[in-house]
């Protein structure tokens, strides 16, 4: 609960911050994670793309080119740069989801998309459903909107679809928030049958789906799956982002929205920041048209695939015997579970004494956390460094109960 400054002889007590601001969840492992910033620490905790894979020359060329165009340093429209929207729409359509530029609103990262959808779709006290565990900053955004957040559990690596159906009936949610492909934090992907079932439940129970897809293009194995928007076009609002496939510093994302809520989202966008940076949007559009994006993304995929494999190969000797973990087909994360009786937060303190770190899973739960879970990111380091870090991790468990 936030507190107001104390009254003194010369000042009056100031009003406290809003209850909603006070209710947003901060990570209980923040202090431990602050220690991961020491340069000697090999940290599998962050979810950062590898900076050496950013196409710096291509992005610089795009900014240089657009600086000569009229208007790139001027105010612009709230919906976003028309060329950028056309390019993103063209990519959706080529990927099997017919999309018009008019269906898209450019946002300052997909994180802003989450905020705009919360503003547009939620009143304080409304219930929404999320996967449990769930992307932490989405939970924060929903808390700031005053939402009641109900988690849908997994059974093994599969979403509990019967629970989704039952909880949808019980709560009448405004929407179900899902990261269907290579989820953060678990790396899990809903298979075709699960997607079809989610779409069917949404139609039958009458709720929207907010489909957040920043990792969709980071696939290293397995076949692509249809998006939920393809399966239930009237019910799904999709979020996309260039953060993981070009660079997060661009802060360019988008909302692909159904027509009924588009005007309200546009007004929310206008109220939030008028529009996303004109020059950044123009440079992103130029970069897409330049054709440099695909080879750069291939380099990213190849490097991350090798890093994922290095992590999966080393995990058997890095985690205590009896641990389990998944083998994601893409994205940035592996989700692991320690054996009975172990606690991933306590063990992180021991790992840090060996200069290695991960994120305990408990930060990602809206309900009762599983203290044995942890998230490991495999994108930040080259394979040798991953092996080095995981061998350090293997040395921590003797003391790590
Ligand atoms: C699931 C998910 N959604 C949204 C975001 C925010 O991405 P952006 O950089 O586009 O704001 C992230 C970032 O890690 C994420 O993992």
The pLDDT tens digits for 122-154 are: 999 999 999 999 999 999 999 999 999 999 999
3-class DSSP assignment, residue 6? coil
9 Cα: distance to centroid of ligand 1 (angstroms): 47
16 Cα: distance to centroid of ligand 1 (angstroms): 30
The whole-angstrom separation of Cα 97 and Cα 212 is: 15
Assess whether pLDDT exceeds 70 at residue 1.
no
Residues β-bridged to residue 152: 131
Probe residue for ligand 1, chosen from 239, 243, 364 as the CB with the greatest number of ligand atoms within 8 Å: 243
Is the CB of 248 within 6 Å of ligand 1? yes
pLDDT of residue 9: 61
pLDDT of residue 26: 66
250 Cα: distance to centroid of ligand 1 (angstroms): 13
Record the pTM: 0.94
Greatest Cα pair distance, the chain, in angstroms, is 69
Q: Which residues contact 387 (CB under 8 A, 6 or more apart)?
A: 310, 314
Q: Tell me: the pLDDT tens digits for 303-323? A: 999 999 999 999 999 999 999
pLDDT of residue 400: 45
Assess whether pLDDT exceeds 90 at residue 286.
yes
Is the CB of 253 within 6 Å of ligand 1? yes
Is the CB of 133 within 6 Å of ligand 1? no
In this structure, what token pair is assigned to residue 133? Answer: 């565990």
Q: Give the pLDDT band of residue 29 (cuts 50, 70, 90).
A: low
In this structure, what token pair is assigned to residue 130? Answer: 């999320």
The whole-angstrom separation of Cα 194 and Cα 231 is: 11
Q: Whose CA is nearest to atom 6 of ligand 1?
A: 111
Burial class (CB in 10 A: 0-12, 13-18, 19+), 54: middle
Q: In whole angstroms, how far apart are CA 271 and each of 1, 76, 78, 111, 356?
A: 27, 14, 9, 16, 43
Assess whether pLDDT exceeds 80 at residue 191.
yes
- Start-to-end CA distance of the chain, whole Å, equals 32
Q: Give the pLDDT band of residue 21 (cuts 50, 70, 90).
A: confident
Q: Tell me: the pLDDT tens digits for 352-393? A: 999 999 999 998 999 999 999 999 999 999 999 999 999 999
214 Cα: distance to centroid of ligand 1 (angstroms): 6
3-class DSSP assignment, residue 324? strand
């Amino acid at each position: 609960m936030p507190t107001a400054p104390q009254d003194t002889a010369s000042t009056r007590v100031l009003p406290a911050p809003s209850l909603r601001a006070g209710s947003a969840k901060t990570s209980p492992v923040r202090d431990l994670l602050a220690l991961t910033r020491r340069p000697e620490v090999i940290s599998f905790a962050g979810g950062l793309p590898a900076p050496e894979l950013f196409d710096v020359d291509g992005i610089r060329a795009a900014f240089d080119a657009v600086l000569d165009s009229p208007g790139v340093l001027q105010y612009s429209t709230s919906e976003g740069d028309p060329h950028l929207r056309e390019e993103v729409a063209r990519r959706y359509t080529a990927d099997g989801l017919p999309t018009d530029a008019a269906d898209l609103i450019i946002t300052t990262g997909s994180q802003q998309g989450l905020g705009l959808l919360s503003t547009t779709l939620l009143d304080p006290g409304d219930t929404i459903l999320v996967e449990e565990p769930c992307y932490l900053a989405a939970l924060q955004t929903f808390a700031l909107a005053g939402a009641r957040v109900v988690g849908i559990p997994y059974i093994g690596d599969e979403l509990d679809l019967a629970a989704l159906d039952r909880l949808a009936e019980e709560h009448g949610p405004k929407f179900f928030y899902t990261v269907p492909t290579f989820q953060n934090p678990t790396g899990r992907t809903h298979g075709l049958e699960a997607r079809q079932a989610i779409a069917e439940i949404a139609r039958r129970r009458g709720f929207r789906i907010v489909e957040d897809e920043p990792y969709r293009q980071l696939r290293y194995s397995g076949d692509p799956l249809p998006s939920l928007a393809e399966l239930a076009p009237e019910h799904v609002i999709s979020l996309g982002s260039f953060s993981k496939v070009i660079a997060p510093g661009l802060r360019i994302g988008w909302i692909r929205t159904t027509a009924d809520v588009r005007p309200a989202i546009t007004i929310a966008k206008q109220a939030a920041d008028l529009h996303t940076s004109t020059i950044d949007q123009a440079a992103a559009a130029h970069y897409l048209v330049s054709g440099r994006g695909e080879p750069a993304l291939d380099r990213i995929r190849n490097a991350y695939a090798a890093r994922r494999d290095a992590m999966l190969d080393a995990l058997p000797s890095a985690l205590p015997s009896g641990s389990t973990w998944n083998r994601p087909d893409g994205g940035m994360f592996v989700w692991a579970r320690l054996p009975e009786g172990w606690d991933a937060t306590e063990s992180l303190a021991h790992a840090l004494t060996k200069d290695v770190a991960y994120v305990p899973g408990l930060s990602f739960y809206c309900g009762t956390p599983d203290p044995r879970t942890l998230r490991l990111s495999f994108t930040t380091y080259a394979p040798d460094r991953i092996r080095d870090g995981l061998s350090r991790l293997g040395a921590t468990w003797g003391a790590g109960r």
